[in-house]
Structure 1
């Protein structure tokens, strides 16, 4: 019992804080918003850490690589794993909703009445037409160094970090002073990350109190049904699929390592509804699982933008909700195709990608544009469980990449905090 409490003390404290926050939100409702600043402090501190953590974790790992080809191998396998897990998530979304009536007729009228004109919203979100190549260029690069310091340009930061690390590797011994300096900075950032995580129980507790107090009783029956079904599917995917992946990556030890270290990341995802805010926690969790720094830094950083299991499933739920609402009968192929395109827009357009992808769903499926607010409400409702999958899936994929790159003994090669993990 003592060993259990010692091992899971931080997780238990975090869970208790969130439960207390939830109770406070249910009891005091909107008045719980007074606690919002304490939650915002935690979120803001996490965002402050993101930029240096991503840069230092990727750069230092690549600079130390003895085999330059290793980076290419990591990148290729990472992309393959992202595609495979994303496709599986998409199929889970399709098969869990295709024969399910997400909304009853009596509830559909209530929701249809909530439709408002989106003409002003369309004008607000309308941007200059850009070619695909221009979108790619604007996503991968920025025109000013200072813009790399914004979390909105995280993909460009990853690219710059990889290039900087490669340049350091090529410079050889002359880059040693810089490498040592960045190593020291990385060690400091990791300690700073620990300090911020110590504040997590207070921050997340207050965040949950505010969130529950604001949205606890403001959900229509139809939306509530979708939320419940999506949450069940997300939790099953989270427990079953990620356990299978962890077992494939490391056997029983892999499963133990994953579930021992993923809970803080899970709670952060649910509490903040931000994949970016989970980057520091995910990198720390990956290191504790025994994943090498170059793999964890690359996969977690890229996964924040390009690996979204929860969003994949969510896109299918949005489509099927409108299918039930408006009484149409699309084919599975059409649903899968539109969902893939919608998620490509979310990842390819960091700012406003969600709204653009929802407009694409409406247009390609033939739904009225006035239904945009419905998709916005759904996106808000499923945000927490979707972020849970988006965030928790990254360390999970990191394990698979580590298995493919470092071999079956990857956990022993990269011992960090796995001494307590036994067969």
Structure 2
């Protein structure tokens, strides 16, 4: 086959893969929103403002259902495999995720006053005398509140474990599949349109440059902080496991690089497993810890979401107390456990807590989504590399004895692999 034909095939396949990437579509939406804001007529811009209002109302309706559908089988699945090492691994993963959020909170509190300055933004979209107001609005009340969904999911999940109801467990898994289908085929494909509408409105409102300049600094800070987080994790585990932390971290670099390319913890599991084994973790321990942590350990994602959320609070001069932020972090850690297995899934799972605990509106949520997806792969890379540190820690604590309880401790594999691409 002539070289020109091969080149055409390769470039076509590369473009199709790139065009199918959510990150690519979000970036294009941001660029088009900025450019079109320079000349778009008001009547056409209001079409997208109307869409954003309807999409936001749908998210208000859907997010509590999403939380219930994803967390219920996650709680039930953990309970069905409630062995000692499963509980310890889950506890360490959750603690790592929460500590990551607390570190991000401390860094933001110490740096945002000089990093982002004192200039505040009152609103993303200034509706003045009907300008950029939606043509119409449809109320979509949620069936229950976010906190109700969370509490109900815990109660039902634990009760399913207590009564060992296989029928309810199957039904919960099927509901989870239905919700995932809605996310994959409806919510995620429409996110670029939603982001386009927000940046179009920002450009026509005149706040665009302030927002972009401020968030660009936060994006860079988030990438740096995820790298420093990994150094801290491996330093801590290296002391306990008596291993060279820098060498152990270097051994995990293939997993880090793979996650950068795939933005998927699940897709990176085979590489993460091999890297963990090269760090001296036995097959039985690595085979237990790595798939489990691919679901429940999202410290990198927590770091990004916290930094972005606190940036929004600072930029829009929102009145949020320290107690609210701590409560937000504790609940967000739970949401990370149930993050859906699609690119950007972690930020979608966090939407309900951002709205309920921090009072974010639809435009601020869209800004969070755009910023999160822009560096999605760095958070995923931090997640999977940190899984290697946890596997070393569990191996040290268990002394390789997990195999004795492996049958009891292995939770639903399909649940692990279905819920981790955040």
TM-score (norm 2): 0.55
The residue that corresponds to 2:398 in the other structure is 405
Unaligned runs of 5+ in 1: 1-30, 42-69, 154-217, 409-423
Q: What is the alpha-carbon distance in structure 1 between the residues aligned to residue 137 and residue 258 of structure 2?
A: 31
Contact 1:310 1:386 in 2 (8 A): yes
The residue that corresponds to 1:295 in the other structure is 285
Unaligned runs of 5+ in 2: 1-9, 21-80, 161-165, 182-208, 402-422
The residue that corresponds to 2:259 in the other structure is 269
In the alignment, does 2:98 pair up with 1:87?
yes
Contact 2:296 2:337 in 1 (8 A): yes
2:86 to 60, 67, 75: 75
Question: What's the offset of the Cα at 1:100?
Answer: 2.4
Question: What's the offset of the Cα at 1:399?
Answer: 0.1
- Residues 120/373 of structure 1: CA separation in 2 closer, same or farther (3 Å cut): farther
Contact 2:290 2:388 in 1 (8 A): yes
- Once the two structures are superposed, what CA deviation does each residue of 1:56-96 show, in whole Å capped at 9, x if it has no partner? xxxxxxxxxxxxxx993422331232133223212211111
1:233 to 206, 225, 229: 225
- Once the two structures are superposed, what CA deviation does each residue of 1:175-206 show, in whole Å capped at 9, x if it has no partner? xxxxxxxxxxxxxxxxxxxxxxxxxxxxxxxx
The residue that corresponds to 1:112 in the other structure is 124
Contact 1:74 1:295 in 2 (8 A): no
In the alignment, does 2:330 pair up with 1:319?
no
Question: What's the offset of the Cα at 1:390?
Answer: 1.0
Question: What's the offset of the Cα at 1:105?
Answer: 5.9
Q: What is the alpha-carbon distance in structure 2 between the residues aligned to residue 108 and residue 32 of structure 1?
A: 43
- Once the two structures are superposed, what CA deviation does each residue of 1:149-178 show, in whole Å capped at 9, x if it has no partner? 99x79xxxxxxxxxxxxxxxxxxxxxxxxx
The residue that corresponds to 1:306 in the other structure is 296
Question: What's the offset of the Cα at 1:300?
Answer: 1.0
Question: What's the offset of the Cα at 1:317?
Answer: 1.2
- Residues 221/336 of structure 1: CA separation in 2 closer, same or farther (3 Å cut): same
The residue that corresponds to 1:169 in the other structure is none
Q: What is the alpha-carbon distance in structure 1 between the residues aligned to residue 294 and residue 340 of structure 2?
A: 11
The residue that corresponds to 1:221 in the other structure is 213
Contact 1:73 1:405 in 2 (8 A): no
2:329 to 339, 361, 368: 339
The residue that corresponds to 2:270 in the other structure is 280
Q: What is the alpha-carbon distance in structure 2 between the residues aligned to residue 289 and residue 125 of structure 1?
A: 51
The alignment of Structure 1 onto Structure 2 pairs a total of residues equal to 281
The residue that corresponds to 2:379 in the other structure is 386
- Residues 317/120 of structure 1: CA separation in 2 closer, same or farther (3 Å cut): farther
The residue that corresponds to 2:14 in the other structure is 35
- Residues 71/341 of structure 1: CA separation in 2 closer, same or farther (3 Å cut): closer
The residue that corresponds to 2:388 in the other structure is 395
3-state DSSP of counterpart to 2:242: helix
Question: What's the offset of the Cα at 1:123?
Answer: 8.0
TM-score (norm 1): 0.55
The residue that corresponds to 1:160 in the other structure is none
Q: What is the alpha-carbon distance in structure 2 between the residues aligned to residue 284 and residue 147 of structure 1?
A: 34
Question: What's the offset of the Cα at 1:389?
Answer: 1.4
Say what the alpha-carbon RMSD is for the aligned residues: 4.3
Question: What's the offset of the Cα at 1:382?
Answer: 3.3
